[in-house]
Amino acid sequence: EDQVTQSPEALRLQEGESSSLNCSYTVSGLRGLFWYRQDPGKGPEFLFTLYSAGEEKEKERLKATLTKKESFLHITAPKPEDSATYLCAVHMSSNYKLTFGKGTLLTVNP
Amino acid sequence: DAGVTQSPTHLIKTRGQQVTLRCSPKSGHDTVSWYQQALGQGPQFIFQYYEEEERQRGNFPDRFSGHQFPNYSSELNVNALLLGDSALYLCASMRGIPLGRAMADTQYFGPGTRLTVL
């Protein structure tokens, strides 16, 4: 069965302390891997789409990378406003749905 | 450019009742998917509508049904509500693409409808 696993489940950082979130997947025929940010009680906000191994995308303090079996979301010098749940999702070639991980709850303390 | 909109924002129902949730897709999008998100979990796929037809369904019972209108907006209906149906219901829209296309298009999410079943 297709599976998406995110780690850690929760991460607490001090402001300015860089770190990485992991998303590993066991699917065949990847059409795209997506990162979303979700604030409490709100809908997921799109961050990045990655399509092939070796691809990297950046936005402000965030950088997403992709290998054949996992993706990393690197957060450089985070600020308290980066606190949120970060969700990873994959889209396989054999269907139309997104399969999500459970997310990583990031807390950045000032 | 309006994003995905959903209504209502919050809803409280009792067990056994029926509920209808509504979604308007982002401008230029013709495909709508519905997801259920329980507290502390990632969203789970319910179904997707394209050209007014349900083209894929997740592992949800027949109590969950939907509809897509000619203007691409969509409704999610849940009958015989159970306590376990309490969740955030998310609508996502995208441009319709063939299954054989190598790269997936991005799905954009609405703010969600918080359903509480008492």
Dump pLDDT digits (tens) for B36-85.
999 999 999 999 999 999 999 999 999 999 999 999 999 999 999 999 99
pLDDT exceeds cutoff 70 at B99: no
pLDDT tens across the length of chain A (110 residues):
668 999 999 999 999 999 999 999 997 788 899 999 999 999 999 999 999 999 999 999 999 999 989 999 999 999 999 999 999 999 988 788 999 999 999 999 99
Spatial CA neighbour of B34 closest among A97, A36, A33, A34: A97
pLDDT exceeds cutoff 70 at B98: no
A93 touches chain B (CB under 8 A): yes
pLDDT exceeds cutoff 70 at B3: yes
pLDDT exceeds cutoff 90 at B1: no
User: The tokens 């961050």 sit on which residue?
Assistant: A47
Question: How would you label A56-82 residue by residue, b for 16+ Cβ within 10 Å and e otherwise?
Answer: eeeeeebbbbbeeebbbbebeebeeeb
Cβ-defined contact of A41 to B114 (cutoff 8 Å): yes
User: The tokens 């995110």 sit on which residue?
Assistant: A6
**Counting runs of H as helices and runs of E as strands, what totals does chain A give?**
0, 11
Maximum distance among all Cα pairs of chain A, rounded to whole angstroms:
44
Give residue B76's domain range.
Answer: 5-117
Averaged pLDDT score across all residues of chain B:
94
Give B100's pLDDT tier (boundaries 50, 70, 90). low
Q: Which residues of A touch B6 (CB under 8 A)?
A: 43
A89 touches chain B (CB under 8 A): yes
Q: Which class in CATH covers the domain with range A13-98?
A: mainly beta
Spatial CA neighbour of B90 closest among B44, B51, B56, B40: B44
Give the CATH number for residue B14.
Answer: 2.60.40.10
Q: Could you give the C-alpha distances from A69 to A33, A46, A95, B47, B78, in angstroms and in order?
A: 11, 21, 19, 26, 36
CB pairs under 8 A between A and B: 72
Angle at A104 between CA A103 and CA A109, to 5 degrees: 150
A25 touches chain B (CB under 8 A): no
pLDDT at residue B108, as a whole number: 95
> A11-23, pLDDT tens digit by residue?
999 999 999 999 9
